[in-house]
């Protein structure tokens, strides 16, 4: 019901929306919850386990009951709190966890079975038969229990992430937060004021109080206007700070367009912020605690402070006859304010026997009374009050309750700190700064620091700002604390009322007092064990309203005090954050950067499928007319290279350019073999080890002139090698005069391979080409169509081959030229598949073989470990275990029957031996069909392999179900003396 003269919604405009198909209207400024209350809707959901009817409990993000699905189709979002979602034109909301309808939910029978469904019931009940757990029990339980459901479709929403930094982050814009931001803003600090609600003001918007001689709402609005005029203050409404992290970093979720009927298409739904703050003020307020009494979960039982908030902020009352059950003076304002608004007060029940009767409220008053039961099938109709030795039934459709307040200490505990129990306040306070796990630079203020009167909150905010400013080296401005209510009233904490029937603690996960007591009886007496056994506090609301009540019940059950019992661990995020928001930008193309070679477009135009190599995209093969499989294309490309000439883009290999007089000495340190003796105009193959003696990478380094050295690395290890070189130089050889930089993206480099390669070069190089004067492993500066380039005579195919490099801006043009010339010579471009076959035929290793556990010895490269100089990994490489002949060492493998298939990843066993781990003889790292030889070939590692040439083994691939008889052979299948490359 909407009351005239109350609330901050704009009544001049109506906003139509739908709830469970019903067309309702609200006003701008309404949350879905306030609009539902205005429309008389009390039943908004069904509970998690027992499918109990549930209504709105709170007016904030701590809401456990009123979870709804927002939107339709792929864009539907489950578990949205109706107390947070603002209404807008066309908003579509549905209740959750009910079938077929909210009013007639068939699974409400669960509630009748409640005696069997206590904590841990499924561990005890669904024990046998074991196979039934996955197939029958679990799916059935999952269907019955639960909250909202996923759409199982791709998330159509736009999410964003953003970064900000500031001197001072103020978390929460209530009395304390506004005051802190005002003082820091006046002092000239860079301030971010983050407020999770739609409108800053906090409790100032929800109480009938005066600040500075005017209504508190007006003071808040005026302060906000002042802050808005300060260029150094950024006010961020709808922004919940979700976590406190190392180094003053805070996470925050901003709801950017969830409240808009027609957001601009480029507008994200929400944004995840990382805010770096030099200092922060925690002014997050406090959460009112429910009281655990029998049947306290009926729609109509609400928090006393929420009822006031609905009255003052939204101008709605949730019923016509409202009772109050509270042990604190502050909650009496609910009865006072409602009575002033003309709402009938059914009763005021105060468990304190000595509390005086509330003044000016014409309603039955029960000092020392307790609510011991409720009735009403789908909403409250009456309460049962025990007072003076008898129990009365009192008709009421709303019960406003308050068990006291818990400061919102969560963020202050996110780095492992434990809150401190304050006996006088009956509340946990944030850990003191400097205490173990306390968040450095986070200053609590206001209700979050246990200050519960408005004047105190204003003063506390000002003091916190003063402290923050002194840490920032800024002078605090002279600001007076405005006059305000300064009496927090008396109160005692009230956690539970004993009585027959289930008393709920965690409304969202359906945990009752009995469950916690059962947990204690069964030995789960630690609060962390109790939490996991009962699931207390493990629902999306993380027990914001219920955890403290539950641990008080546990303390009572175990005979401990509350501080002895302690709290569970507080972890980010404070409010649920959609995974899509955390992952913002990382979907689809945003998942990883893409690197393209200069020949990419030309390759794609030829229909080449691309495969990923690290972040690079490389052509797999170039399909020719009439070819239907990749194998056909690959075989043609291999034959082309072996018989004519092929060209391939090898720009993705890492290129690192060195200058400086000590470059040779530095390369001696990083490579196992000597490079300082390399003459200008020559290139050399080398391997690098890690310090533990295993091979890290291989490649060639060319010395183009006296002072220009160019190292190539493998595509996959380029970044790793660069970091390694930096470390070796900075940590181990800081005195060496050498400098290097990555030039991978600066040069386009193409392999030209095959017997006709010299003919192609003669056509493409300015001044022609004489292979006779440019021997194997030569390098030189050349000119290509007027462009200065580099030529290397190196071969990864075993053929007479070159790599030719030009500045990347000329890459696309050179590629077209090379392809055209190659085709003129009976060749053409080849892709990664052919490149792989060509190198396997020659036994050249890649990272399939250099997989991090192999040594130079394993690869048959032990002669490259120079005994005459030091190098990285030398000491470790000489360990006897790394030189044991019995190690798994590189060999070639071929099928005994030419039709036999070889598969990389398969393992080798002696013939007749069982194919199990203890009989393992080795494994295959690379395998392919060799079109040159007409059968499959493979590289692999076999125990003492080089000493077992000709031995037959059984190759077993358990995954693909393939067994092939193989023979150990040399890893070099073709041209073992290398005559073709040197020709």
Partner 1 sequence: MRLDCPLCGPRDLREFTPRGAAVHARRPEGETWSEAWHHHLHLRDNPAGRSEELWYHGSGCTAWLIVERDTATHEVFSVRLAAEGGA
Q: Min. distance of Cβ 675 from partner 1 in angstroms?
A: 17
Residue 281: Cβ-neighbour burial (10 angstroms; 0-12, 13-18, 19+): buried
590 belongs to the binding site for partner 1 (CB under 8 A): no
Q: Min. distance of Cβ 475 from partner 1 in angstroms?
A: 24
Cβ-based nearer residue to partner 1, 512 or 738: 738
Please identify which residue in 879, 952, 960, 982 interacts with partner 1, judged by CB under 8 A: 879
Q: Tokens for 703, please give them.
A: 């010395």
Cβ-based nearer residue to partner 1, 659 or 952: 659
Please identify which residue in 210, 433, 657, 692 interacts with partner 1, judged by CB under 8 A: 692
522 belongs to the binding site for partner 1 (CB under 8 A): no
Considering only residues 23 to 42 of the shown chain, the ones binding partner 1 according to CB under 8 A are: none
983 belongs to the binding site for partner 1 (CB under 8 A): no
Cβ-based nearer residue to partner 1, 847 or 869: 869
320 belongs to the binding site for partner 1 (CB under 8 A): no
Q: Min. distance of Cβ 874 from partner 1 in angstroms?
A: 5
Q: Tokens for 911, please give them.
A: 């013939």
Cβ-based nearer residue to partner 1, 655 or 800: 655
Residue with tokens 């020709």, as numbered in its chain: 983
With contact defined as beta carbons under 8 Å apart, do 656 and 741 qualify? yes
Q: Tokens for 454, please give them.
A: 């408005």
743 belongs to the binding site for partner 1 (CB under 8 A): no
Q: Min. distance of Cβ 876 from partner 1 in angstroms?
A: 6
730 belongs to the binding site for partner 1 (CB under 8 A): yes
726 belongs to the binding site for partner 1 (CB under 8 A): yes
Please identify which residue in 12, 152, 246, 362 interacts with partner 1, judged by CB under 8 A: 246
With contact defined as beta carbons under 8 Å apart, do 549 and 495 qualify? yes
Please identify which residue in 870, 884, 897, 947 interacts with partner 1, judged by CB under 8 A: 870
Only segment of 147-155, 254-262, 533-541, 874-882 that touches partner 1 (CB under 8 A): 874-882
With contact defined as beta carbons under 8 Å apart, do 328 and 402 qualify? yes
Strand partners, 829: 647
Q: Min. distance of Cβ 907 from partner 1 in angstroms?
A: 29
Please identify which residue in 112, 154, 723, 896 interacts with partner 1, judged by CB under 8 A: 723
Only segment of 111-119, 312-320, 869-877, 929-937 that touches partner 1 (CB under 8 A): 869-877
* CA dist., res. 170 & res. 280, Å (int): 6
Residue (of 35, 983, 982, 50) closest to 512 by Cα position: 50
Residue with tokens 């080089």, as numbered in its chain: 946
731 belongs to the binding site for partner 1 (CB under 8 A): yes
884 belongs to the binding site for partner 1 (CB under 8 A): no
Strands of the 22-26 sheet, one edge to the other: 22-26, 15-19, 91-95, 67-70, 77-81
Q: CA-based Rg of the chain, rounded to a whole angstrom? A: 38
Half-sphere exposure (Cβ direction) of 250: Cα atoms closer than 13 Å: 36
Q: Min. distance of Cβ 805 from partner 1 in angstroms?
A: 23
Considering only residues 393 to 422 of the shown chain, the ones binding partner 1 according to CB under 8 A are: 415
DSSP 3-state assignment of 250?
A: strand
Considering only residues 272 to 301 of the shown chain, the ones binding partner 1 according to CB under 8 A are: 276
Strand partners, 254: 239, 271
593 belongs to the binding site for partner 1 (CB under 8 A): no
With contact defined as beta carbons under 8 Å apart, do 632 and 702 qualify? no
691 belongs to the binding site for partner 1 (CB under 8 A): yes
876 belongs to the binding site for partner 1 (CB under 8 A): yes
Query: C-alpha distances in angstroms, 341 versus 3, 56, 311?
Result: 8, 21, 9
* Residue 472 backbone phi and psi in degrees, to 5: -85, -5
Cβ-based nearer residue to partner 1, 561 or 878: 878
395: Cβ–Cβ under 8 A, 6 or more apart, which residues? 321, 346, 381, 382
Cβ-based nearer residue to partner 1, 656 or 937: 656
471 belongs to the binding site for partner 1 (CB under 8 A): no
Residue 763: Cβ-neighbour burial (10 angstroms; 0-12, 13-18, 19+): middle
Strand 398-402 relative to strand 321-326, pairing: parallel
DSSP 3-state assignment of 311?
A: helix
Give a three-class secondary structure readout of 472-495. HCCCCCCCCCCCECCCCCCECCCC
Cβ-based nearer residue to partner 1, 606 or 674: 674
* CA dist., res. 421 & res. 430, Å (int): 9
Strand partners, 685: 700
Please identify which residue in 161, 352, 847, 874 interacts with partner 1, judged by CB under 8 A: 874
Cβ-based nearer residue to partner 1, 78 or 693: 693
- What is the phi-psi region of residue 859: left when phi exceeds 0, alpha when psi lies from -120 to 50, beta otherwise? alpha
Only segment of 219-227, 719-727, 761-769, 962-970 that touches partner 1 (CB under 8 A): 719-727
With contact defined as beta carbons under 8 Å apart, do 240 and 575 qualify? yes
Only segment of 88-96, 466-474, 729-737, 844-852 that touches partner 1 (CB under 8 A): 729-737
Cβ-based nearer residue to partner 1, 687 or 882: 882
Only segment of 46-54, 755-763, 836-844, 875-883 that touches partner 1 (CB under 8 A): 875-883
Q: Min. distance of Cβ 429 from partner 1 in angstroms?
A: 21
Cβ-based nearer residue to partner 1, 521 or 739: 739
727 belongs to the binding site for partner 1 (CB under 8 A): yes
Only segment of 148-156, 244-252, 377-385, 472-480 that touches partner 1 (CB under 8 A): 244-252
Please identify which residue in 247, 473, 559, 934 interacts with partner 1, judged by CB under 8 A: 247
Spell 366-401 as b/e; 16+ CB within 10 A means b. bbebbbbbbebeebbbbbbbbbeeeeeebebbbbbb
Query: C-alpha distances in angstroms, 317 versus 18, 306, 308, 769?
Result: 20, 10, 9, 93
Number of shown-chain residues binding partner 1 (CB under 8 A): 26
Residue with tokens 């130079």, as numbered in its chain: 856
Strand 695-705 relative to strand 708-713, pairing: antiparallel
Cβ-based nearer residue to partner 1, 277 or 464: 277
- For partner 1, what does the binding mask look like between residues 654 and 673, x meaning CB under 8 A? --------------------
The CA angle 136-142-144, to the nearest 5 degrees, is: 100
Q: Min. distance of Cβ 245 from partner 1 in angstroms?
A: 7
Q: Min. distance of Cβ 870 from partner 1 in angstroms?
A: 5
Residue (of 298, 367, 303, 319) closest to 60 by Cα position: 303
Q: Min. distance of Cβ 903 from partner 1 in angstroms?
A: 35
745 belongs to the binding site for partner 1 (CB under 8 A): no
Cβ-based nearer residue to partner 1, 11 or 571: 571
Please identify which residue in 161, 732, 847, 948 interacts with partner 1, judged by CB under 8 A: 732
76: which DSSP letter?
-
Please identify which residue in 512, 663, 729, 738 interacts with partner 1, judged by CB under 8 A: 729
Q: Min. distance of Cβ 460 from partner 1 in angstroms?
A: 27
* CA dist., res. 481 & res. 179, Å (int): 8
- What is the phi-psi region of residue 964: left when phi exceeds 0, alpha when psi lies from -120 to 50, beta otherwise? beta
With contact defined as beta carbons under 8 Å apart, do 948 and 968 qualify? yes
DSSP 3-state assignment of 242?
A: strand
Considering only residues 430 to 459 of the shown chain, the ones binding partner 1 according to CB under 8 A are: 437, 440
245 belongs to the binding site for partner 1 (CB under 8 A): yes
Residue with tokens 């018989």, as numbered in its chain: 643
Q: Min. distance of Cβ 694 from partner 1 in angstroms?
A: 11
Cβ-based nearer residue to partner 1, 276 or 823: 276
Helix (H) or strand (E) holding 95: strand 91-95
**Site residues for partner 1 per CB under 8 A:** 245-247, 249, 276, 415, 437, 440, 691-692, 719, 722-723, 726-727, 729-732, 734, 870, 874-876, 878-879
């Amino acid at each position: 019901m909407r009351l005239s003269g109350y609330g901050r919604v704009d009544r001049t405009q109506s906003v139509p929306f739908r709830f469970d198909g019903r067309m309702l209207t609200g006003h701008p400024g309404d949350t879905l919850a306030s609009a539902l209350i205005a429309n008389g809707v009390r039943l908004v959901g069904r509970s998690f386990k027992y499918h109990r009817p549930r209504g709105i409990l709170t007016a904030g993000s701590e809401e456990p009951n009123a979870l709804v699905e927002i939107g339709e189709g792929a864009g539907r979002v489950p578990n949205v709190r109706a107390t947070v979602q603002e209404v807008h034109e066309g908003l579509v909301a549905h209740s959750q966890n009910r079938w077929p309808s909210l009013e007639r939910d068939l699974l409400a029978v669960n509630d009748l079975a409640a005696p069997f469904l206590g904590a841990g019931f499924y561990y005890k009940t669904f024990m046998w038969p074991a196979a039934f757990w996955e197939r029958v029990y679990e799916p059935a339980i999952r269907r019955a229990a639960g909250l909202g459901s996923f759409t199982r479709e791709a998330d159509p929403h736009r999410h964003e992430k953003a970064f900000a930094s500031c001197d001072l982050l103020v978390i929460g814009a209530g009395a304390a937060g506004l005051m802190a931001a005002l003082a820091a803003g006046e002092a000239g600090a860079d301030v971010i004021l983050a407020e999770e609600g739609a409108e800053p003001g906090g409790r100032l918007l929800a109480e009938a109080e005066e600040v500075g001689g005017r209504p508190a709402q007006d003071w808040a609005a005026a302060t906000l206007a002042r802050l808005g005029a300060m260029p150094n203050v950024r006010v961020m409404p709808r922004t919940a700070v979700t976590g406190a992290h190392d180094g003053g970093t805070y996470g925050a979720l901003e709801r950017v367009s969830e409240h808009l009927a027609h957001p601009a298409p480029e507008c994200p739904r929400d944004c995840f912020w990382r805010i770096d703050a030099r200092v922060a003020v925690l002014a997050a307020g406090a959460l009112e605690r429910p009281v655990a009494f029998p049947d306290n979960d009926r729609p109509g039982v609400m928090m006393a402070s929420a009822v006031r908030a609905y009255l003052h902020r939204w101008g709605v009352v949730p019923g016509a006859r409202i009772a109050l059950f509270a042990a604190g003076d502050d909650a009496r304002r609910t009865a006072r304010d409602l009575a002033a608004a003309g709402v009938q007060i059914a009763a005021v029940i105060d468990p304190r026997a000595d509390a005086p009767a509330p003044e000016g409220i014409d309603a039955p008053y029960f000092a020392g009374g307790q609510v011991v039961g409720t009735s009403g099938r789908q909403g409250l109709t009456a309460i049962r009050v025990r007072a003076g030795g008898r129990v009365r039934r009192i008709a009421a459709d709303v019960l406003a309750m308050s068990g006291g307040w818990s400061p919102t200490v969560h963020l202050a505990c996110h780095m492992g700190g434990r809150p401190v129990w304050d006996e006088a306040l009956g509340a946990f306070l944030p850990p003191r700064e400097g205490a173990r796990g306390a968040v450095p630079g986070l200053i609590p203020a206001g209700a979050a620091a246990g200050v519960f009167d408005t004047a105190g909150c204003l003063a506390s905010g000002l003091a916190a700002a003063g402290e923050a400013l002194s840490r920032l080296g800024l002078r605090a401005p002279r600001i007076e604390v405005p006059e305000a209510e300064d009496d927090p009233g008396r109160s005692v904490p009230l956690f539970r009322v004993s009585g027959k029937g289930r008393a709920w603690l965690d409304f969202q996960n359906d945990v009752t007092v009995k469950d916690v007591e059962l947990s204690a009886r069964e030995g789960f007496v630690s609060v962390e064990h109790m939490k996991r056994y009962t699931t207390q506090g493990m629902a999306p609301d993380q027990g914001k309203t219920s955890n403290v009540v539950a641990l008080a019940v546990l303390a009572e059950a175990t005979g401990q005090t509350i501080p002895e019992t302690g709290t569970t661990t507080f972890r980010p995020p404070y409010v649920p954050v959609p995974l899509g928001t955390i992952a913002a930008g990382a979907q689809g193309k945003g998942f990883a950067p893409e690197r393209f070679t200069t020949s990419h477009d030309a390759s794609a135009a030829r229909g080449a499928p691309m495969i990923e190599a690290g972040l690079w995209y490389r052509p797999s093969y170039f399909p020719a007319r009439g070819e239907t499989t990749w194998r056909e294309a690959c075989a043609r490309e291999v034959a082309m290279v072996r018989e004519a000439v092929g060209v391939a883009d090898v720009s993705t290999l890492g290129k690192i350019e060195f200058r400086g007089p000590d470059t040779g000495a530095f390369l001696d340190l990083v490579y196992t073999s000597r490079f300082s003796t390399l003459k200008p105009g020559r290139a050399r193959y080398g391997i690098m080890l890690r310090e533990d003696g295993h091979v890290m990478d291989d490649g060639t380094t060319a010395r183009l002139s006296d002072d220009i050295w160019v190292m190539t690395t493998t595509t996959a290890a380029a970044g790793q090698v660069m970091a390694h070189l930096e470390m070796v130089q900075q940590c181990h050889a800081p005195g060496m005069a050498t400098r290097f930089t990555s030039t991978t993206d600066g040069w386009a480099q193409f392999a030209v391979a095959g017997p006709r390669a010299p003919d192609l070069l003669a056509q493409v190089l300015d001044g022609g080409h004489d292979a006779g004067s440019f021997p194997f492993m030569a390098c030189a500066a050349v000119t290509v169509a007027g462009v200065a380039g580099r030529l290397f005579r190196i071969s990864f195919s075993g053929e007479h081959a070159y790599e030719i490099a030009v500045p990347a801006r000329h890459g696309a043009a050179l590629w077209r030229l090379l392809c055209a010339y190659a085709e003129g010579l009976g060749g053409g471009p080849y892709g990664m598949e052919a490149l792989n076959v060509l190198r396997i035929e020659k036994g050249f290793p890649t990272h399939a073989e250099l997989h991090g556990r192999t040594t130079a010895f394993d690869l048959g490269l032990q002669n490259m470990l120079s005994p005459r100089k030091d190098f990285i990994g030398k000491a470790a490489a000489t360990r006897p275990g790394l030189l044991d002949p019995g190690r798994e060492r590189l060999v070639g493998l071929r099928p005994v029957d030419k039709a036999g298939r070889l598969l990389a990843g398969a393992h080798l066993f002696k013939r007749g031996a069982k194919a199990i781990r203890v009989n393992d003889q080795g494994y295959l790292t690379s395998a392919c069909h060799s079109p040159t030889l007409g059968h499959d070939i493979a590289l692999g590692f076999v125990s003492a392999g080089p000493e077992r040439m000709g031995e037959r083994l059984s190759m077993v691939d358990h995954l693909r179900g393939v067994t092939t008889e193989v023979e150990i052979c040399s890893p070099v299948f073709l041209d073992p003396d290398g005559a073709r490359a040197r020709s």
